[in-house]
Amino acid sequence: MLAQWHAAKDAYPDCLLFFRMGDFYELFFEDAVAAAAALDIALTTRGQQAGEPVPMAGVPVHAAEQYLPRLIRAGHRVAVCEQMEDPAEAKKRGSKSIVRRDVVRVITPGTLSEDTLLDSRRHNYLAACADARGAFGLAWLDMSTGEVWMQPIPSAGGVNMLAAALARIAPGELLAPDRLLDHPELAPLWDDVRDALTPLPASRFDSANAEARLLAAYGVGTLDGFGEPGRAEIAAAGALFDYLALTQVDRMPRLMRPRRLPAPGSAGAVMEIDAATRRNLELAQTLSGERKGSLLSVIDRTITGPGARLLAERLAAPLTDVAAIDARLDAVEFLGAQTAAREDIRGTLRAAPDMERALSRLALGRGGPRDLAAIRAGLEASQALRDALAAMADAPETLGRIEASLGEHGALVGRLAAALSADLPLAARDGGFIAAGFSAELDAQTELRDESRKLIAGLQATYAETTGVASLKVKHNNVLGYFVELGASHADRIMAEGKEAAADSFGLIHRQTMANAVRFTTVELSELDDKISRAGERALAIELELFAELAGTVLAAGDEVAAAARALAELDVAAGLAELAVGARYTRPTLTDGAQFTIAGGRHPVVEAMLEDGPGAFVANDCDLSGADAGRLWLVTGPNMAGKSTFLRQNALIAILAQIGSFVPAAAAEIGVVDRLFSRVGAADDLARGRSTFMVEMVETAAILNQAGPRSLVILDEIGRGTATFDGLSIAWATVEHLHEENRCRTLFATHFHELTRLAARLGELSCHTMRVKEWNDDIVFLHEVGPGAADRSYGIHVGKLAGLPPAVVGRAEEVLRLLEAGDQAGALTRLADDLPLFQAAVAETAPAPAADPVRDLLASVSPDELTPRTALELLYRLKAVMDD
Ligand code: ADP
Ligand code: MG
């Protein structure tokens, strides 16, 4: 047995081996130690090898799904080694022979299909990255839904584009050739995805093999039908398929034809949002990694898992094509106006299960009766929704397309409805899921079983009468089958007549003596028992056959079922966004191909939702970056806590919402499509990656200055804060100039350096804005209003006072500020240092008398108004001479 274990382990050395032994998966040796630690289960031993006890740990098969997520999350991969035959079969080959076992599946983070292992509201992508001829290629798929994607990353875009694309996909597992892992330029990239990374030998990314694999998988003669993917994309997709063959062993998931995303920056590409920007804007999760508090959590009103996944997918990849965005907006607007119909639709969606994942489990041979039921209920919902959509007059094109994709599934629904009983077991092998009346053959076996059971019930009465024991019971257990149970005293009487006699008179065969009862079987009972179990076995075999047949029927209609599932998700997203628009008072944005950016009465969707005072407490603000008079670069000044960051982010979020085809939190919005969005917000420490805050800030600023173009939107919040004041101011200054003159992008720049506002005189499209505050009794009140102009001061001391700095510190700080503002800063600093208040007394006592300074003395003695040019020159010579002494 251990030899068998070693053979399997050698084939999957990097996996924990779940070795099936009866009702348990057992782990041995170092696997046992690792699993015991990760799962907090008992570590025992079993037998010996080379004189040492073999460590062992096990989990019950029925509970394995609860343990697997913990192992996967702890970074393990699990190879499941099953018994491939009944132990009875093995016995037939000889008493010592061992049950045949094979690894049937390798479980990795990117290849999960079970609901218990997956988040129903999030995609779990398996991605691969390859390179060929200097360009990169990406391919990714969601095994649980069968979607496959490819995208080229041109060599010109290089590492930045690759990083942005990976941040968008956020794969659960990323396959990469080990050769690329050592690439110095790519190092920061791998850092970002380290937890998901699975390095593979470069040979698995060979593009010729990959092409052959893809052609075979899709049964086509050329890949050109897939949008003429490049070598790198093909290599990446090939590696994905190869990896599936490796991990799924011989079951391939149902995979759709790959869809191709255009290269970043090309026509029809999605809005590019790099990893830092995604993090900063808290799109799908907050900076602390939670979903709650993210933009997604606030806008997600979808009902179904597939709907939630589609919304997340769209939020990750806003469109840049005005027509496509408008098509989505049309659907949202239409459903927003139709309150009753929308509520009907959402009501029906509540009954629609996750068909996508059910379908994929069926394809992988891991499905059960409940997956068939999910398909049935999902298709029923599709029909109902199709009818609902058909009944709507003047529906926009998007809804028409959804209606068509929902399809016509009457026959399949009818068949599944007839086949499935009301109560369904989890696994097909548990039986009892086929409804009566569906199969005559199955019904015959059921009848046989039920009749025999009736006969047995009758026998209890007969036996009670024959033996004269009214309390006699016929019972059943797995060891004895059906048996007669007698109380001990009655049994004694019968036994006293001798076993033979008992058998003769009543046909009872003694089997077991318990404390208070004795158990007997009879020939009649055994025969009926046999009949029942034979009928049961036969019935189960028939049910399993029917299951396979039904699953086959569903899979044969797989493309249509998947299309219906996708259409349901789209409808869910459209209806959810409509619900959001109505409930949260969002309006339809106008998208153009120009460079407008005019937001009237914009709000921050998340801050607004979180404000405790309820809707209306948020102060709406306008923003206009359309150029000319309004300016293209807004410099936003104002004290801390006045709402600068909120204002900046809300405009970025409004652009994103508009381009995913959602209404936006504003009174009106006109937006020229944003092709790339950059944001550098706040000063987040990135110690985990061994870079100082300031370094991170500069790296991200550099990325923006190097990449932003005229269609980009840039949000810069407090750049240059992480270093000395003059350094910071200088960097901020130069950055503003560069953005204005070179990048020429739409920019919102918040800063506490109000000196920057002086740039307004020189930079034509820079306009100054400030967060308005009201001073009141020496305190300040934040109005959260953006107004024209510049903050004349930064109010930092006020904020410090609000925060509870000791009055002495506040007082002194005000004094220092006055001095600094009065004149030249360098001189003021010298005076301040000479004048440290806290140490003043000590300085007076101990400081040595200042050394005589002849230059100073000389200067003190002259009166400049009385100097003639000639005496002035003489004075200069004398000063120089004194200095040189
Ligand atoms: P700053 O960046 O200027 O320091 P923030 O944008 O971080 O200020 O805002 C501070 C707080 O003020 C926010 O957390 C929010 O609660 C509140 N706030 C900001 N803007 C608004 C607004 N427009 N309406 C209402 N409250 C706001
Ligand atoms: Mg701020």
Q: Ligand 1 pocket: which of 604, 641, 717 to mutate (most atoms <8 Å of CB)?
A: 641
Task: Give 149's strand partners.
Answer: 140, 259
Q: Is pLDDT larger for residue 478 or for residue 768?
A: 768
Residue 136, beta-bridge partner list: 131, 153
- At 591 the three-state DSSP class reads strand
The pLDDT of residue 841 is above 50: no
Query: Cβ(173)–Cβ(110) under 8 Å?
Result: yes
Q: Could you give the CA distance from residue 598 to residue 610 in angstroms, rounded to a whole number?
A: 25
Task: Select the more confidently predicted residue: 738 or 843.
Answer: 738
Nearest in space to 345 (alpha carbons), one of 414, 402, 297: 402
Query: Who has greater pLDDT, 726 or 213?
Result: 213
Among residues of the chain, what percentage have pLDDT more than 70? Answer: 93
How large is the average pLDDT for residues 190-219?
A: 90
Of residues 393 and 690, the one with the higher pLDDT is: 393
Q: pLDDT for 542-555, tens place per residue? A: 999 999 999 999 99
Ligand closest to 782 (CA) is 1
- pLDDT band at 588; cut points 50, 70, 90: very high
Q: Other CB atoms closer than 10 Å to residue 519's CB: what's the count?
A: 21
- Ligand with smallest separation from the Cα of 640: 1
Q: What is the pLDDT of residue 170?
A: 93
795 CB near ligand 1 (under 6 Å): no
Side-chain-side CA neighbours of residue 316 (13 Å): 19
Q: Is 606 in the pocket of ligand 1 (CB under 6 A)?
A: no
Q: What average pLDDT does range 843-853 have in this prediction?
A: 54
pLDDT at position 214 is: 93
pLDDT score for 614: 66
Helix or strand holding residue 578 (H, E): helix 558-583
Is 650 near ligand 1, meaning CB less than 6 Å away? no
Query: Does residue 618's CB lie within 6 angstroms of at least one atom of ligand 1?
Result: yes
Provide mean pLDDT across the span 752-781: 84
Please give the sequence-ordered ranges of beta strands (E in DSSP) within 154-283, or none if there are none: 173-177, 197-200, 259-260, 272-273
CA distance 279 to 264: 20
Percent of all residues in the chain with a pLDDT value above 90, rounded to a whole number: 53
Mutation to probe ligand 1, out of 603, 606, 607, 610 (largest number of atoms < 8 A from CB): 607
pTM: 0.85
Q: Ligand 1 test: best mutation among 282, 606, 622, 646, most atoms within 8 Å of CB?
A: 646
In tens, the pLDDT along 645-668 reads 999 999 999 999 999 999 999 999
* Higher per-residue pLDDT: 55 or 115: 55
Interatomic CA distance for residues 828 and 179, integer angstroms = 58
Q: For residue 603, which atom of ligand 1 is closest to its CA?
A: 23
Q: Is the pLDDT of residue 599 over 90?
A: yes
What pLDDT sits at residue 502? 58
Residue whose Cα lies nearest atom 6 of ligand 1: it is 643
For ligand 1, whether the C-beta of 603 sits within 6 Å is no
For 257-300, the pLDDT digits (tens) are 999 999 988 888 999 998 889 988 999 998 888 899 999 999 99
What span, in angstroms and rounded, lies between the C-alpha atoms of 655 and 319? 11
Q: Whose CA is nearest to atom 17 of ligand 1?
A: 643
- Ligand 1 neighbour 649 (Cβ under 6 A): no
Question: Residue 598 C-alpha to ligand 1 middle, in angstroms?
Answer: 21
How do residues 604-645 score in pLDDT, each as one tens digit?
999 999 886 666 689 999 999 998 777 899 999 988 888 999
Bridge partners of residue 395, in order along the sequence: none
Beta pairing partners, 20: 25
Compute the distance from residue 644 Cα to the ligand 2 centre, in Å: 5
Distances (CA, A) of 625 to 281, 582, 602, 645, 712: 20, 27, 13, 17, 12
CB atoms within 10 A of CB 254: 19
pLDDT at 400 over 60: yes
Q: Ligand 1 atom closest to Cα of 610? A: 16
Rounded Cα distance, 727 and 536, in Å: 83
Mean pLDDT (the chain) is 88
- Of the pLDDT bands very low, low, confident and very high (cuts 50, 70, 90), residue 90 is confident
> If you search the block for the tokens 């006020």, which residue do you land on?
798
Residue 753 CA to ligand 2 centre (angstroms): 13
619 pocket-lining for ligand 1 (C-beta < 6 Å): yes
For 850, which DSSP code? P
What pLDDT, on the 0 to 100 scale, is given for residue 843?
39
Task: Give the Å distance between the CA of 613 and the centre of ligand 2.
Answer: 21
**pLDDT in the model for residue 848:** 52
Ligand 1 atom with least separation from CA of 638: 3
Q: What is the pLDDT of residue 503?
A: 57
Q: Is the CB–ligand 1 distance for residue 641 below 6 Å?
A: yes
